[in-house]
Chain A
C-alpha cells in the first residue's frame, strides 16, 4: 500500500514537472517565433516584391530609402539634386506608361510581348532624369544605358525612425513605427495619469473610509468590471464617449487619442483599485494601531503608514494597469480613429501598436514585408511589457530589502 502511494506520488511529481517544462518551452517558442518572423523584415527589399527600380546609367544616385522612394512617387521630391544627384527633373515612369508610348505591334503583343523589355530599356536609356518602376519579369535584358537601383533592405532606421506607416504604398511600402509607438505611449501615459489618482482614491476610500456594508457591495462590483470584455468597453466608448468628447471640446471628430485614454483609464481602474486596495488592507493592524496610539489622525495614518507600507502593492497595481493599457486592443481600436500619424495633440485621431496589429494582420499576406512588420510591432510591444515588468520587480524588491 505504502509502495503504491509512493509510485503514485512519483508519477504526479513527474507529470507536474513535465507540464511545467512543456509550458515554459511553449512560451519560449512563441517568443522565438515572434522575433524570427519580425526580424525577417530587415531582410525584405524596400521595394515591393517582384518589382525593381531602374534609372538612367548616367544618374549618380544609387541608393534610395523607402521614404525617399515614396516621396518621389508622391511628387514631393521632383529633382535629383534633392537626393544628391545632378540638377535634373525627375521623370516618373510606371510600367503601364509603356503602352501609351508604343503600340501593341511594336511591343510584340502577339508574341507574348517579347519586345517589351527591349523597349523599356530604350526608354530608360534615352531619358536622363527617369526613374522606372518595373516588374522583374520584364526587366530589360540588355542593360546598356540602364542601371538598376541596388536592392535595398528595409533598415532598423527606416522602421524605428520612420515617420509614416503606409503598408500599402507602392512602389515602396512605408513601415515607420514612430507614429504607432508614440500613439501607444501617449494614450497609455494619459490613461495612467487619469486612472492612477482615481484608482488610488477609490482604493483608499474602500479600504479605509467606506463602512463594511458599502465595501461588501462595491468591491465585487468593481471586480466584476475587470472581467467585462474590452469590445463592450469599446462599444460604450463609441456610443457614449466619442460624441461626448466631440461636443465637450468642440472637435471635428470625437475619435481621438484622448477618447482612447479615457476608455483605457476606465478599463485599468478595476485592476488598479482591487490590487491597491488589497495591498492597503494587508497593512498589519499592528501598524495602524501603533500610529493611531501615538495620536496620529486617521489621515496621517493613511498617508504616513498605510500607503508607504502598501507601496510595493500599489506599484504592482500601477504596473498591471499600465500593462493593460499598453496591450489593450479592441476598445482603443474602436475609439481612437486609427490615423497612423504622429500625434501632435491628444485631441486628434491616432493609432496604437496593438490596434494596428489587430486591424492589419488579417489582410497582410503571410511572409510578406507587411506581415513581418506587424510581427516586429509585436516584438516592440513584448519588449515594452518586459521592461515594465522588470521595473516593477525591481521596485518591489527594493521595498522588501527595506524590511517590509
Chain B
C-alpha cells in the first residue's frame, strides 16, 4: 500500500504540490490525470525519490510505502528504488544489448549467477509480453527495437528486479495505437502482482486501465475516487469540465 500524507513540494520557491493526501491499495491501478504542468509527474516521482536528483527541491509531509516513511532518516534510497520501479514517458533503453538491458538491475544488485540471470530475463521479457518477439535476438542492440518494443523492454527491465510497486509516467504517450493497447493489456496482467500508478493524458486509457483515478490541477488534488464514479458522476464541477472537455 502506498500513501501520501499532506504533501507539499517546492521547486526552489515554486509551490508545485499543495497538501496532497491519498491512499493507493496494493494490487490496484491508480491513474493520475490533469492538465499539463499540474504536478502529476512531480507527485509520481516522489515515490521512488527521483526528485532528489533535482537540486533545490523541498518536501514536507509523509510518503509511505509499505508502512514506512520513505523520506525518513536512514532510508536506503537504492533499496527503495528496487522496491518501487519506474517506467518513463519516453522509452530509454541503455545502449546495450536487449539481454543486458533487462539484466542490468540484477547486475547492479550483485547477482552473478548466469543461470539465474538468464531465467529472470526470460521471465521478465515474458511478463512484459516481449519474449516471443525478441527471444532470437537477445544479443542485438536494444536500439534495433521499435518504439513500442523498446517501451515494453523498459517495463521488462523494471520487472526484473521484482519491485512491488510500478510507477508509469505516460508510458504509452510516444506509441502508436497498437503498441498502446498492448501496454494496456499488460497493465491489466501486471496488476495481479504489482501496485501500479500511472500518469496519462488519455482519458479513455485512464478509464480502461485504472481502478481509481486522481484529478490534479495547479498542484491540487481536486478529486480522487473510483474510476467509474469519476468518469460517470464526478463530485466536482472542475473534474466534470476537464473530462468532458477532453471527451468532447
Using a CB–CB distance below 8 Å, which chain A residues touch chain B? Answer: 211-212, 284, 286-297, 300, 304-305, 308-309, 402-404
Contact B108 A296 (CB under 8 A): yes
Contact B95 A294 (CB under 8 A): no
Complex contacts, B248 vs chain A, CB 8 Å: none
Bound-state CA distance A308–B93 (Å) is 14
Bound-state CA distance A304–B108 (Å) is 9
Bound-state CA distance A286–B87 (Å) is 11
Q: Which of B9-17, B48-56, B199-207, B232-240 lies on the face that meets chain A?
A: B48-56
Complex contacts, A403 vs chain B, CB 8 Å: 95, 141-144
Complex contacts, A289 vs chain B, CB 8 Å: 50, 53, 86, 88, 92
Chain A interface mostly helix, strand, loop or mixed?
Answer: helix
- Given contacts A289-B50, A289-B88, A293-B85, 18 further A-B pairs with CB under 8 A are A288-B53, A290-B154, A290-B157, A291-B108, A293-B81, A293-B88, A293-B158, A294-B85, A294-B108, A295-B105, A296-B78, A296-B104, A304-B104, A309-B95, A402-B95, A403-B95, A403-B141, A403-B143
Bound-state CA distance A291–B108 (Å) is 9
A294 and B88 in contact, given A212-B55, A402-B141, A403-B143 (Cβ under 8 angstroms): no
Is B90 interfacial (CB 8 A cutoff)? yes
Total chain B interface residues with beta-carbon distance under 8 A: 29
Contact B81 A292 (CB under 8 A): yes
Contact A294 B82 (CB under 8 A): yes
Query: B93-104 CB contact bits vs A (8 Å, 1 = yes)?
Result: 111000000001
Contact B78 A293 (CB under 8 A): no
Bound-state CA distance A403–B101 (Å) is 14
Is B79 interfacial (CB 8 A cutoff)? yes
Contact B141 A287 (CB under 8 A): no
Near A by CB (< 8 A), chain B positions 24-68 give: 48, 50, 53, 55
Bound-state CA distance A211–B55 (Å) is 9
Contact A292 B50 (CB under 8 A): yes
Q: How far is the CB of B83 from chain A (nearest CB, A)?
A: 8
Contact B86 A293 (CB under 8 A): yes
Q: Which residue from chain B places its CB closest to the CB of A298 in the assembled complex? A: B78
Complex contacts, B82 vs chain A, CB 8 Å: 294-295
Q: How far is the CB of A208 from chain B (nearest CB, A)?
A: 12
Complex contacts, A404 vs chain B, CB 8 Å: 95
B79 contact from A295, A300, A309, Cβ within 8 A? A295
The 3 nearest A-B residue pairs measured at CB: A295-B82, A403-B143, A286-B92
Q: How far is the CB of A74 from chain B (nearest CB, A)?
A: 61
Q: Which residue from chain B places its CB closest to the CB of A308 in the assembled complex? A: B95
A290 contact from B79, B88, B161, Cβ within 8 A? B88
Sampled A-B contacts (6; CB under 8 Å): A290-B154, A292-B50, A293-B158, A295-B82, A297-B108, A403-B143
A294 contact from B142, B143, B144, B157, Cβ within 8 A? B157
Q: Which residue from chain B places its CB closest to the CB of A401 in the assembled complex? A: B141
A295 contact from B94, B95, B109, B143, Cβ within 8 A? B109
Q: How far is the CB of A354 from chain B (nearest CB, A)?
A: 38
Q: Which residue from chain B places its CB closest to the CB of A301 in the assembled complex? A: B108
Complex contacts, B107 vs chain A, CB 8 Å: 304
A286 and B90 in contact, given A292-B50, A404-B95 (Cβ under 8 angstroms): yes
A292 and B92 in contact, given A304-B104, A402-B141, A403-B143 (Cβ under 8 angstroms): no
Q: How far is the CB of B223 from chain A (nearest CB, A)?
A: 29
Complex contacts, A295 vs chain B, CB 8 Å: 78-79, 81-82, 105, 108-109, 161
Bound-state CA distance A288–B104 (Å) is 13
Complex contacts, A402 vs chain B, CB 8 Å: 95, 141
Q: How far is the CB of A213 from chain B (nearest CB, A)?
A: 10
Contact B78 A305 (CB under 8 A): no
Contact B92 A287 (CB under 8 A): yes
Complex contacts, B78 vs chain A, CB 8 Å: 295-297
Q: How far is the CB of A152 from chain B (nearest CB, A)?
A: 58
A292 contact from B53, B90, B144, B161, Cβ within 8 A? B53
Near A by CB (< 8 A), chain B positions 106-129 give: 107-109
Q: How far is the CB of A200 from chain B (nearest CB, A)?
A: 19
Q: Which residue from chain B places its CB closest to the CB of A403 in the assembled complex? A: B143
Q: How far is the CB of B135 from chain A (nearest CB, A)?
A: 20
Bound-state CA distance A279–B142 (Å) is 22
Complex contacts, A300 vs chain B, CB 8 Å: 108
Complex contacts, A287 vs chain B, CB 8 Å: 92, 94
Q: Which residue from chain B places its CB closest to the CB of A294 in the assembled complex? A: B105
Q: Which residue from chain B places its CB closest to the CB of A285 in the assembled complex? A: B53
Complex contacts, B88 vs chain A, CB 8 Å: 286, 289-290, 293
Complex contacts, A304 vs chain B, CB 8 Å: 104, 107-108
Q: How far is the CB of B184 from chain A (nearest CB, A)?
A: 22
A294 and B161 in contact, given A304-B108, A402-B141 (Cβ under 8 angstroms): yes
Near A by CB (< 8 A), chain B positions 142-201 give: 142-144, 154, 157-158, 161
